[in-house]
Structure 1
Amino acid sequence: MPALIRSVALQDYEWAAQAVAVDPYAQMKRLGLVLEQPISGDEFIPYQLFVQLLENTAEAGRCPDFGLRMGQGPDEYFEGPVVVLMRHANTLSEALALITQYGHVYSTVFQPTLAPVRGQAGMVDLILTVNDGRPASFKQVTEYILVSLVRALRFVRENRGDDLLVMFPHEALSAADKYQAYFSCECRFNAPFAAIRIAEAELKRPLPGRNELRIKMATSYIDSRFPKSGELVSEGVRRLLRQRLGMGRVKQADIAAELSLHEKSLQRRLAREGCPFPQLLDEARRDYFVELLRQSARPSLAQIALMLGYSEQAALSRSCQRWFACSPSELLQRH
């Protein structure tokens, strides 16, 4: 599976590039990343291009701390679904497990793992897999991910974070006081890997914002709106159409919004899968219609029309003729 990252990260990139007098769209175009403006954040882009984009921009803007700047984006960062999951987890250990389970919302390559620190009892490293074994080529993206994760850890721990140790697999790119300003904790360079070290006891400490109901709401939101790796977006559309047929919110724009996709992006992805939206809607109505007919306590045809999202029973009759070459009444007799 190709390494991908969700283009929501480019929203951080856009303002950070402009802040160092670099045209973000020109830099993206150089690498073949042509996205709609403003960036919607609902596409997946090749991870390697994202990595190169950050390196190129740091060089063009003569800004060695560009990745760190990106990681200091607006507070909307904390409203993302995965950070919300972390915020309401019972413990930090559970929060990190949720990152692993739902990291596909943002990227197919970000898989943090916990490992005990050799020779330091009671300490663990949260190791970040953010490169392909060539850390010298991934300095900016490594720093971007590290500072973003430290921000998230501080958020879920209500600003506790000075007990962390942040490790970089490369030399310092800026002065020590800059790293202190970004991280407010100890930083170590030329480490074997990118990681955040923390006391193991902290993983088990209850988080202040824990809330089981919000965890269930957030996981339900992610499961319905962000297809897991390998799942076709058309499958997510089918699920949402079935849920919303009788609610009158079955237009393509409505479903795109539920999936956190731009309408045109949804249209393109469905086209690639050979499942245009009108076809999916028609199939959802047909399948639900047959299911309703099989129920022992069958609703009236007028009620069924409303349950399928039709404004009138005549529209149901026309669809039934197209699906089964007969009227709804004739189909009822068959059943």
Structure 2
Amino acid sequence: MKPLVRTAALSGYVELCRSLGIDPQALLKSVGLDTAALVVQDRWISGAAVVQVLELSAAASGHEDFGVLQAEFRRFSNLGPISLVVREEPDVRSALELLIRHQHMFNEVLHARLQEGDGLATLKVDLLLGEAMQTRQATELAVTAFHRILRAFLHPGWHPLSVWFTHPAPADASTHRRVFDSAVEFDQKFNGIVFYARDLDAPNAMADPLLHEYARQYMKPITTSQDTTAADRVRELIEVLLPSGRCSIEQVARSLGVDRRTVHRHLAASGETFSSLLNATRMHLAEQFVANPRRSLTEISDLLGFSSLSAFSRWFREQFGCSPRAWRTGASRQRTDRD
């Protein structure tokens, strides 16, 4: 399976596109994504699709600095649950090392590593996609995001010794100079940030010493293995794609960067099929949605990817043995009895 990234990687993407006069929905659709998929930042989507849409957006807007501009919309919380732990590490070194060690929790494409020598620290950033494609914008987004994280750990006025990119300089580097000051250089040996190693020993400006132990305790249950199963990935994508009305195995395969046979093969290895996962996901979501009286049944039908309310009602009766309206009435009575 191809690597995935959390939808938080595109945080602020819609707003940036609109500010630059381009259509985010059309661009996302061209790579198999949808604006609906970006609403919840903990969903997983194709890393290759994210890389591609950033390149397309830069071309459509005429902004070679699109990735840098995108990074300015990012917040520390976009890292997900791991951000709650990293921010309470006592010094920059432990915070950065923890973030790098668990980078798979928020981005399977990202490969960052920290090196030290001769009084210098070098944070190198690569993107591992498993296929050849242009990655200029995604690389600049990742490096700029790390630059912002280091400033948060240290102080807003902090500057590295240099910020390097392997690709050529843009025609207009004013945004890069504004963000990185005079430290930015192009056509270099690697993508990353070079700074004094002593900065790693500085106290983490975001940390509250009294919360460190609590954060470490919180870390244990949220830490995930890098060995995410194929079924987990497909389940996540089904939940993202259902509201778009385009939830098919072909679309899931495209999002994962493989063909449908590969998806079938991986699911079969874990005793699952696409149909079983689709149905199980719909059942799980239907229980939550139908019990909520603020959602209309028509809205729920759309959210679960049905072509009509009648199709949804028939499916619901087959799965739960009653109509969605009857289920909702029963759930309401249970809440009243508990109260």
Instruction: Give the TM-score normalised by the residue count of structure 1.
Output: 0.64
User: Is 1:188 matched with 2:188?
Assistant: no
Q: Is the 1:68–1:147 Cα contact (8 Å) retained in structure 2?
A: yes
**2:145 is matched by which residue type in structure 1?**
S
The one of 197, 208, 213 equivalent to 1:211 is 208
Q: Is the 2:65–2:137 Cα contact (8 Å) retained in structure 1?
A: yes
* SS of residue in 1 equivalent to 2:107: coil
The one of 133, 138, 143 equivalent to 1:141 is 138
The one of 269, 272, 281 equivalent to 2:277 is 272
Residues 214 and 233 of structure 1: CA distance in aligned 2, closer, same or farther (over 3 Å)? farther
In structure 2, C-alpha distance between the alignment counterparts of 1:84 and 1:12, rounded to whole Å = 21
Find the counterpart in structure 2 of residue 198 from structure 1.
Answer: 195
* SS of residue in 2 equivalent to 1:115: strand
* SS of residue in 2 equivalent to 1:21: coil
Report the alpha carbon displacement of residue 266 of structure 1 after superposing the two structures with TM: 11
**1:130 is matched by which residue type in structure 2?**
L
Find the counterpart in structure 2 of residue 114 from structure 1.
Answer: 114
Residues 137 and 233 of structure 1: CA distance in aligned 2, closer, same or farther (over 3 Å)? closer
User: Is 1:97 matched with 2:102?
Assistant: no
Find the counterpart in structure 1 of residue 250 from structure 2.
Answer: none
In structure 2, C-alpha distance between the alignment counterparts of 1:128 and 1:216, rounded to whole Å = 30
Residues 78 and 29 of structure 1: CA distance in aligned 2, closer, same or farther (over 3 Å)? closer
Judge which range, 151-160 or 80-89, deviates more.
80-89
State the identity as a percent.
23
* 1:109-142 residue CA offsets vs partner (Å, 9 max, x unmatched): 223112245xxx2112111122459998111111
User: Unpaired segments of 5 or more residues in structure 1?
Assistant: 236-260, 282-310, 313-335
User: Is 1:71 matched with 2:77?
Assistant: no
Judge which range, 69-78 or 200-209, deviates more.
69-78
Find the counterpart in structure 1 of residue 318 from structure 2.
Answer: none
* 1:187-215 residue CA offsets vs partner (Å, 9 max, x unmatched): 11111111111112221223233335534
Report the alpha carbon displacement of residue 72 of structure 1 after superposing the two structures with TM: 0.5
Find the counterpart in structure 1 of residue 164 from structure 2.
Answer: 167
* SS of residue in 1 equivalent to 2:110: coil
Find the counterpart in structure 1 of residue 149 from structure 2.
Answer: 152
* SS of residue in 1 equivalent to 2:45: strand
Judge which range, 57-66 or 87-96, deviates more.
87-96
**1:177 is matched by which residue type in structure 2?**
S
* 1:260-296 residue CA offsets vs partner (Å, 9 max, x unmatched): x999559999962986676xx9xxxxxxxxxxxxxxx
Report the alpha carbon displacement of residue 153 of structure 1 after superposing the two structures with TM: 0.7
Report the alpha carbon displacement of residue 151 of structure 1 after superposing the two structures with TM: 0.7
Q: What is the CA RMSD across the aligned residues, in angstroms?
A: 4.0
In structure 1, C-alpha distance between the alignment counterparts of 2:14 and 2:219, rounded to whole Å = 25
Q: Is the 1:11–1:39 Cα contact (8 Å) retained in structure 2?
A: no
Q: Is the 2:37–2:43 Cα contact (8 Å) retained in structure 1?
A: no
In structure 2, C-alpha distance between the alignment counterparts of 1:160 and 1:32, rounded to whole Å = 40
- Between Structure 1 and Structure 2, whose CA radius of gyration is higher? 1
* SS of residue in 1 equivalent to 2:2: coil
Instruction: Give the TM-score normalised by the residue count of structure 2.
Output: 0.63
* 1:43-101 residue CA offsets vs partner (Å, 9 max, x unmatched): 21111111111001100111111111100106575784444433321221111111123
Q: More relative contact order in 1 or in 2 (CA 8 Å, sep 6+)? A: 2
In structure 2, C-alpha distance between the alignment counterparts of 1:111 and 1:198, rounded to whole Å = 19
Residues 135 and 12 of structure 1: CA distance in aligned 2, closer, same or farther (over 3 Å)? farther
Aligned ranges 1:1-335 → 2 under 5 Å: 1-34=1-34, 36=36, 39-73=39-73, 75=75, 77=77, 80-116=80-116, 121-131=118-128, 137-184=134-181, 186-218=183-215, 221=218, 224=221, 227-231=224-228, 264-265=239-240, 272=277
User: Unpaired segments of 5 or more residues in structure 2?
Assistant: 248-273, 288-333
Report the alpha carbon displacement of residue 159 of structure 1 after superposing the two structures with TM: 1.6
Q: Is the 1:78–1:84 Cα contact (8 Å) retained in structure 2?
A: no
In structure 2, C-alpha distance between the alignment counterparts of 1:58 and 1:184, rounded to whole Å = 22
